[in-house]
Structure 1
């Protein structure tokens, strides 16, 4: 019996840790696969802007590498983002504006290129959108909550010391007063005006038509094309060919990403895409109820 037990021990181990062994095998295969030779000849590269834009560091780090690589003659920017914070969106926008003067950048709106992500990608040399993409949403919003009634029911009282009439502006412990609302409204309008002016400059639009392309409107690809927010409607195939033309490339060699990074990106990207799809569905469901 002991003899058979010893023989079965390796099998028991494999069955018990099967998933872990498969994962380690995948990691080994990913890291053992070569790709450096292919990248030595690379002359075009793809960079993705996926999900909410809450920071710009990771994107700009990768983008800077492409900017500094003399062999890279063109960049495909794939966007599928609902937007995000205005500051990192501006940082990405300024970087794309700068690099687009050195080497062509084609932006491809894969699913959503709206609000902050439109601001980020609008300086690309050409913008091509999937016919089902959602674009625009050129506007600024500041959300807040008033939990004063809830706090009162829970017996929670707020106390604070401040210097300056506006220091508590945006607090959630009481309704905003008229002075605070006026200040916050002025701030929002200032950022909105900046956003619209930047879009007008980047896309060569007439600011008098902002009622069509701005005002926070979410646009279909067809409407975005009509109002000048994009250059073409097409697939990623058309976006790639546009990049080859602008870069004057005859023999194409794509920069290969690290395969382990691609594996992680696939895991994270699927979840992000699902979240964007759910959010989009909820928005249209709400709009259909209102109208």
Structure 2
């Protein structure tokens, strides 16, 4: 009786053991092909969307997506969906130059969904066209370096710094004391050089006169319509307008957008929801 009751379970376990590898193989094939096939049909995707969302602290993930879009012959155009306050200079430059190379082989349209400022604007400048939501914040073309001076606080709580260094400016930017005049000048030169790189690239990409940089590159943030007046963007519109512009430039007869990998989509949604939950808790505890 005992054997008879568990016979179906033993049969099921044997079935899983025998066909598990085949099942996993078929599942992998499904995930691979479904990520680039429009749901409900077997037509290959011909347009791709790359998101630049949140602070830009590293570029590897976005660079990988750009490279995939560049190498995929089925993809005829790329939409850059931007909602980012910017970030570190180096990864922003890396993304910007990768978009510049991509744009040589297929059209790229950038869309500022909420914030396209500082590093995220830098990343977008080489697109064929830049659209922005009417309520989007655009610009903030500038570079900043900040550090605290906790010298007085350290003295109060009895903390003393010990430093061994080689190189005159190795300690430039320290937060344990006030910077010397030479250190300040050195850091200012670094910031000025970084700013010149940013402004020169914007001027080249957007066909602007570098002598007018005080108008468009004084680090101010523009609302979309004012950014358009300064020629930082091409059009004010919504996502639909940017998508239609890309369809026109890519000359596809029927737009088929590449679907994100299902697992990546799950992780992204999970991360976003977790972040929203954290923000709700955090702000709920703030004393207003």
Contact 1:213-1:227 at 8 Å conserved across structures = yes
Change (3 A) 1:33 1:208: closer
Residue in 2 that maps onto 1:194:
197
Contact 2:83-2:112 at 8 Å conserved across structures = yes
Residue in 2 that maps onto 1:6:
none
Contact 1:77-1:105 at 8 Å conserved across structures = yes
Q: Distance between the aligned counterparts of 1:242 and 1:32, measured in 2?
A: 30
Unaligned runs of 5+ in 2: 1-26, 280-288
Alignment of 1:54-73 (within 5 A): 54-73=57-76
Residue in 1 that maps onto 2:118:
115
Would you say 1:165 and 2:164 are equivalent positions?
Answer: no
Root mean square deviation of aligned Cα: 2.2
Residue in 1 that maps onto 2:101:
98
Residue in 1 that maps onto 2:13:
none
Aligned residues: 247
| TM superposition score normalised by structure 1 | 0.80
Alignment of 1:1-291 (within 5 A): 35=34, 37-38=37-38, 41-269=44-272
Residue in 1 that maps onto 2:12:
none
| TM superposition score normalised by structure 2 | 0.81
Change (3 A) 1:48 1:171: same
Deviation at 1:260, TM superposition (A): 2.7
Change (3 A) 1:273 1:207: farther
Deviation at 1:266, TM superposition (A): 2.3
Change (3 A) 1:32 1:144: closer
Unaligned runs of 5+ in 1: 1-27, 277-291
Q: Distance between the aligned counterparts of 2:61 and 2:139, measured in 1?
A: 24
Deviation at 1:267, TM superposition (A): 3.1
Deviation at 1:248, TM superposition (A): 0.8
SS of the residue 1:53 aligns to: coil
Q: Distance between the aligned counterparts of 2:100 and 2:33, measured in 1?
A: 34
Q: Could you report, residue by residue, the CA deviation over 1:15-42 in whole angstroms, capped at 9, with x for unpaired residues?
A: xxxxxxxxxxxxx9xx989825437511
Contact 2:151-2:177 at 8 Å conserved across structures = yes
Change (3 A) 1:77 1:32: closer
Q: Distance between the aligned counterparts of 2:241 and 2:261, measured in 1?
A: 25
Deviation at 1:273, TM superposition (A): 8.0
Q: Which runs of 4+ in 1 moved over 4 A?
A: 31-34, 270-276
Contact 2:31-2:262 at 8 Å conserved across structures = no
Residue in 2 that maps onto 1:16:
none
Contact 2:66-2:102 at 8 Å conserved across structures = no
Q: Could you report, residue by residue, the CA deviation over 1:52-78 in whole angstroms, capped at 9, with x for unpaired residues?
A: 000000111121111100000000110
Q: Distance between the aligned counterparts of 1:209 and 1:275, measured in 2?
A: 43
Change (3 A) 1:33 1:75: closer
Change (3 A) 1:192 1:67: same
Change (3 A) 1:67 1:32: closer
Q: Distance between the aligned counterparts of 1:34 and 1:182, measured in 2?
A: 56
Contact 1:50-1:269 at 8 Å conserved across structures = no
